[in-house]
Amino acid sequence: MPNATLTHTVPPGIRRIRADKALAIAFPGHSRVAIQRAFDAGLVSFDGRPIKRDHAVHGGDTLAFSMPDARPSELKPVAIPLDILFEDRHLLAINKAAGMVVHPGAATGEDTLVHALLAHCKGGLSGVGGVERPGIVHRLDRETSGVMLVAKTDAAHRGLSEQFSTRALQKEYLALVAGTPALLSGSIRKPIGRNPHQRHKMMAFEESHPAARDAHTDWEVVESYGALATLVRCRIHTGRTHQIRVHLKSLGHVLLGDTVYGWHADPRLPVQPSRVMLHAEHLVVHHPVTGKLLDLTAPPPKDFKAMQRALKTATKPSKKRPQKPKAVRP
Give the span between the Cα atoms of 57 and 136, in whole angstroms. 31
- Tell me which residues are annotated as active site: 141
Under 8 Å between Cβ of 288 and 163: yes
Cβ-proximal residues to 132 (8 Å cutoff; 6+ apart), any chain: 73, 75, 103, 104, 114
Under 8 Å between Cβ of 232 and 222: yes
Under 8 Å between Cβ of 61 and 48: no
Per-residue three-class SS string for the chain: CECCCEEEECCCCCCCEEHHHHHHHHCCCCCHHHHHHHHHCCCEEECCEECCCCCEECCCCEEEECCECCCCCCCCCCCCCCCEEEECCCEEEEEECCCCCCCCCCCCCCCCHHHHHHHHCCCCCCCCCCCCCCCECCCCCCCCEEEEEEECCHHHHHHHHHHHHCCCCEEEEEEEEECCCCCCEEEEECCEEECCCCCCCEEECCCCCCCEECCEEEEEEEEEECCCEEEEEEEECCCCCCHHHHHHHHCCCCECCCHHHCCCCCCCCCCCCCCCCEEEEEEEEECCCCCCEEEEECCCCHHHHHHHHHHHHHHCCCCCCCCCCCCCCC
